[in-house]
Amino acid sequence: MSDALNFHQRNGKYINVGGTNIFTIDQGEGEVILLLHGFFGTSYSFRKIIPILSKEYRVVAPDLPGLGFSEQIKEVYSHRVLADIIYKFIEKITDEKIHLVVHDYGGPISFLMMNSHPEKVKTLTVISSFLNLTKFRFYFPLNILNKRFIGNLFGKLLSTKVLRFIFNSQFISQGSPFDESTSDDYAFLLVHGNNRSNFVKMCQCVDRTIHAQRDMELGLKKMIGGRQILVGKQNKIISPMEVEYIKQTMRLSIANYLSGKHFLMEDSAEECASKIEMLVNKFSSKDK
């Protein structure tokens, strides 16, 4: 592990949710901003924006079960199960409404959670996420990992070098490519020990049924509060049609396009944090 990842681990803590210890970064004071990662990410993916947001707010960023430093669960890694875990996690950290920031697969997980508990969310920031799972074309290498047999085989090939290639070609702009140290950190968090099989299981347990689609859309429509979409200008993963679909469901007229590709928290940390902070400030009660 690099010094940066060691620092990240030392500054975290564990929150027990239903018998599973969830590794969590919890910094700052005030209203809660919850940062939820998606595929190929962990709480470490938000390390650049946490110090910015935690100056004015309490910033909480968990690792999903079985990834990063969190314990694995015995249940199937479906996003319905993960949605329930996130709700219970929120119940553990605060009794108040939260400001929710979701990236990639963190979106579908949260949308399902909001269908049952829309009252928990005050604002929602959607970063490079997707909603129309019945038609969404999974990106490389998720389109391989989500297949049972070949996905298991491909999962065994994931290494520092492979992940570095994936990130620098797919997820990160040429202006801020991953070096070997950062790639090592991501490899440790995603594929070290049992994390490898947990990650592959998560990729293979996405609920793409019409029932899940309906519940996710209802979750977004039930949510009352501030909302915004952030997308990378160079993002080839989230199509304009997908952005438009999310916009319509969230009842938004625009999406905010930032410099970068899929992982805006890595590419454009300051700009990303600024957009989040602007929305949170608007709906925060701290100065009211």
Provide the H-helix boundaries in the chain. Answer: 3-10, 50-53, 79-93, 106-116, 142-145, 148-155, 160-166, 180-191, 195-204, 210-222, 240-250, 264-267, 269-283
Residue 288: predicted pLDDT: 47
pLDDT at residue 285, rounded to an integer: 78
Q: Which CATH class is domain 3-137+208-283?
A: alpha beta
pTM here is: 0.96
Question: Which residue stretches of the chain have pLDDT < 70?
Answer: 286-288
What pLDDT score does 286 carry? 61
Q: Which two tokens stand for residue 238?
A: 């989230």
Rounding to the nearest 10 degrees, give the CA dihedral for residues 247, 215, 272, 17.
Answer: 170
CA distance 127 to 102: 6
CA distance linking residue 218 with residue 216, whole number of Å: 5
Distance linking the first and last C-alpha atoms of the chain:
44
DSSP 253-281: S--EEESSSS-HHHHSHHHHHHHHHHHHH
pLDDT value for 95: 95
For residue 55, give Cα distances in angstroms to 8, 20, 59: 17, 30, 9
Question: By the 8 A CB rule, do 245 and 220 touch?
Answer: no
Query: For 62-113, how does the pLDDT look when each residue is reduced to its tens digit (9 = 90+)?
Result: 999 999 999 999 888 898 999 999 999 999 999 999 999 999 999 999 999 9
**Residue 126, token pair as written in the block:** 């959607």
Residue 107 contacts residue 128 (beta carbons within 8 Å): no
